[in-house]
Amino acid sequence: MATNLAIDDRLIDAARQIGHHATKKAAVTAALEEYVNRRKQLEILKLAGTIDYSVKKCVATCPIQARVLPIPDCSYWSSGVTNDQ
């Protein structure tokens, strides 16, 4: 989709230089992707402390313990297994 934007030339040139982008379009696209990803991360951070999980339960039942420290998002739990099983 073609879009006309009035962007500060110094800002876009700095973005192109820092990001090693050949075109203004590449610099703007990269900047927008970074912006969207950062906002998604901030939304995830808002969930911190709101998810209840039992690390001890995961350690005791998780058949995939490849690391010394258990991780609550191991493939065992993401496969749909709940604490009730």
Domain ranges of the chain: 9-45
| pTM for the whole structure | 0.55
Reported as a single tens digit per residue, the pLDDT across 9-61 is 999 999 999 999 999 999 999 999 999 999 999 998 888 877 766 655 555 55
Q: How far apart are CA 7 and CA 3, in angstroms?
A: 12
Angle at 14 between CA 12 and CA 15, to 5 degrees: 65
